[in-house]
Amino acid sequence: MNYAEAFCEVETELQTIKNTGKIATYIPELSHVDPRQFGAHLTTINKEHYSLGDSQTKFSIQSIFKVLALTLARGFDEDHLWNRVGVEPSGSPFNSLVQLEYEQGIPRNPLINAGAMVVCDVLLNHLPNPRQDFIKFVRGLAGDTDIDYCSRVATSERLTGHKNAAMINLIKSYGNITHDIDKVLDFYCDLCSIEMSCKQLAQAFLYLATDGVNPINGEMVISARKSKRINAIMQLCGFYDEAGEFAFKVGLPGKSGVGGGIVAVHPDKYSIAVWSPPLNAKGNSFMGMKFLELFTTRTESSIF
């Protein structure tokens, strides 16, 4: 089935499914969003576009930034990054802190909060103007300058993120954070607060479907080998405690955020972004997961 037909059929089928998800409330600013919004956008490596619903409405990308931060860091840091963060799935969330203790402050992978903090610490070594440089990087990937931070969300997260503060202090106690804790946390919360639409996200992640080349300008974002490896990390670690479920049902590398967004990549074919704010019990967009499951089943586009 082609992508247009699949979009159409899945949209219809989703209307028969009761959304039992709940909007994230632990970051107060995120709780104000209208839960009924829904958008999806697919971009192929041949520059075809398929859209659905609120695909041009911007939302908080949250943890999705971690893939972009990792990509940027991999460009700078040839040798040392994998000494400071692993590439293994993290297992169930109940042991996030004990795992950090057990593994002496080395986070399991760069897509959990602890690992992304280490990546932020690395970026602070290399970016002369971290906030500006990072958003410029994202705008370049998306081919769109209308992308920015949301300072209300960043502040809200900074004030209430005691668990993140616990984590970064623990990592620092093992010497695996080099900058001042407040500086890293500020930067981390800024990156979480970036707002993008499905259309922008799909475009921005397309380099992972084209062996690391930005299809807009033909520039190499990252080598083909590193690009494949980032896909591998997304596949294994992109969905917290639901990575297996996502691989199992959707069969694509991807990354979710608590803002309700999910991006997935089919190497050599397309990237797709979907957004629906209510989250399932594991913290991933309830309808986003359903959409992708139905879509990849209909288009038979699992990588497995």
Residue 169 as a binder of its own copies (CB under 8 A): the answer is yes
Find out whether 213 is annotated in a ligand binding site. no
Least distance in angstroms from the C-beta of 302 to its own copies: 5
| C-alpha–C-alpha distance, residues 47 and 101, integer Å | 46
Site for its own copies in 222-261 (CB under 8 A): 225, 228-229, 231-233, 235-237, 241-245, 247-249, 251, 253
Find out whether 5 is annotated in a ligand binding site. no
Counting DSSP H helices and E strands in the chain, the numbers are: 13, 7
Token pair of 16 as six digits:
């028969």
Query: If 0-12 CB within 10 Å is exposed, 13-18 middle and 19+ buried, where does residue 48 land?
Result: exposed
Find out whether 157 is annotated in a ligand binding site. yes
Find out whether 129 is annotated in a ligand binding site. no
Applying CB under 8 A, which part among 42-50, 57-65, 88-96, 145-153 lies near its own copies?
Answer: 88-96
Among 267, 259, 258, 255, smallest CA distance to 292 is for: 255
H-helix or E-strand containing 73? Answer: helix 65-76
Least distance in angstroms from the C-beta of 237 to its own copies: 7
Residue 281 as a binder of its own copies (CB under 8 A): the answer is no
Find out whether 245 is annotated in a ligand binding site. no
| C-alpha–C-alpha distance, residues 184 and 174, integer Å | 16
Find out whether 63 is annotated in a ligand binding site. yes
- Residue 48 or 103: the one with the smaller Cβ distance to its own copies is 103
User: Residue-wise over 212-238: b if at least 16 C-beta within 10 A, else e?
Assistant: bbbbbeeeebbeeebbbebbebbbbbb
Query: If 0-12 CB within 10 Å is exposed, 13-18 middle and 19+ buried, where does residue 144 land?
Result: middle
Residue 54 as a binder of its own copies (CB under 8 A): the answer is no
Q: Which residue type occupies 118?
A: V
Query: If 0-12 CB within 10 Å is exposed, 13-18 middle and 19+ buried, where does residue 33 land?
Result: middle
Residue 97 as a binder of its own copies (CB under 8 A): the answer is yes
Q: What number of chain residues touch its own copies (CB under 8 A)?
A: 52
3-state secondary structure of 123: helix
Binder among 163, 180, 219, 281 for its own copies (CB under 8 A): 163
Binder among 56, 173, 178, 281 for its own copies (CB under 8 A): 173
**What residues form the annotated binding site for substrate?**
63, 113, 157, 164, 188, 240, 258
**What residues form the annotated binding site?**
63, 113, 157, 164, 188, 240, 258
The residues that touch its own copies, with contacts defined as CB under 8 A, are: 86-92, 94-95, 97-99, 101-103, 108-109, 162-163, 165-170, 172-173, 181, 225, 228-229, 231-233, 235-237, 241-245, 247-249, 251, 253, 267, 297, 302-304
